[in-house]
Amino acid sequence: MSEESSSESTRKLVLPGDLMETKSKPGRGIFRKDGRVHASVVGHSIDKSGYINVNGIKGRYNPKTGDKVIAICAETGPSVWRMDIGASFNSTLHHSESGWKVPFGDTARFLSIGDAVWAEIFMVDAAGSHQISLKKDDCRKLYSGTIVKIDPTNVSRVIGKQGSMITTIREKTQTRIQIGQNGYIWIDGKGDNISLAQKAVEMINEEATSKGLTKKIEKLLEK
């Protein structure tokens, strides 16, 4: 191989845990195990100039310890629940982190498929697997309401400067709103008010980079 071609990049789609066959040094989105390198996120691997990186695909949530998230039960096991948090793969909620006294094999009585919780991520390992807990601060099961899913990169836009945007939405619609760092947003209140708040959140998600967005939201909420 010539010196010129060795600097060219190779690119392919990879999943968490995929073995990276390369002699390059590991960079972003990579972890080492038994002397070999693996992808830690869903994304495109780029092997270039002696380094290999995995650039995560936009829209997927990358869990971080301490993040508050909204999680939806996707599967129940004898002693755990598998929870959808919008990441590359489901998170785990162990019965010991639920705050409930759960008899073995009876998890579905406490949390069934489709139920949602307000939780905290308390563990993320080198391979990218993660666990959540309901024993932190105000974590709890969420009843009624609806859940809106947005791009995690737009969470700060929904919140606004010093919480200005979400405060406006809450006050104008008289709804209760919890915003997960994973881009899952829980809205509860009266039917029409929930719908209006949802429209506002979805508009922010779709037009996050547009100018005059605050005025557009204010106009929408005045209807």
47, 73 in Cβ contact below 8 A? Answer: no
148, 201 in Cβ contact below 8 A? Answer: yes
72 in a domain, yes or no? yes
Burial of 30 (0-12, 13-18, 19+ CB in 10 A): buried
Q: Which secondary-structure segment (H or E) carries 36?
A: strand 36-39
Q: Facing residues of 29 across strands?
A: none
Q: Could you read off the pLDDT of 89-127 as tens digits, one per residue?
A: 899 999 999 999 999 999 999 999 999 999 999 999 887
69, 182 in Cβ contact below 8 A? Answer: yes
61 in a domain, yes or no? no
**pTM score, whole prediction:** 0.74
Task: Label residue 99 left, alpha or beta by phi (over 0 means left) and psi (-120 to 50 means alpha).
Answer: left
What's the number of domains the chain is made of? Answer: 3
Q: Which of 91, 118, 142 is the last residue of a domain?
A: 142
151 in a domain, yes or no? yes
CATH of the domain at 52: 2.40.50.100
CATH of the domain at 187: 3.30.1370.10
62 in a domain, yes or no? no
| Domain assignment of residue 197, given as a range | 146-221
Query: 14 φ, ψ to 5°?
Result: -130, 160
132 in a domain, yes or no? yes
**pLDDT score of 33 more than 90:** no
Residues 81, 134, single domain; the answer is: yes
Residues 102, 132, single domain; the answer is: yes
pLDDT-derived band of residue 6, with 50, 70 and 90 as boundaries?
very low
Residues 125, 73, single domain; the answer is: yes
- Amino acid making up residue 96: S
Q: What percent of the chain has pLDDT over 90?
A: 65
Residues 174, 126, single domain; the answer is: no
Q: Could you read off the pLDDT of 147-196 as tens digits, one per residue?
A: 999 999 899 999 999 999 999 999 999 999 999 999 999 999 999 999 99
**pLDDT score of 131 more than 50:** yes
Q: Could you read off the pLDDT of 54-101 as tens digits, one per residue?
A: 876 666 899 999 999 999 999 999 999 999 999 988 999 999 999 999
Q: Which of 77, 110, 142 is the last residue of a domain?
A: 142
pLDDT of residue 30: 83
Q: Facing residues of 68 across strands?
A: 120
Residue 193 burial (CB count, 10 A): 15
CA 78/CA 102 separation, integer angstroms: 10
176 in a domain, yes or no? yes
Residues 182, 135, single domain; the answer is: no
172 in a domain, yes or no? yes
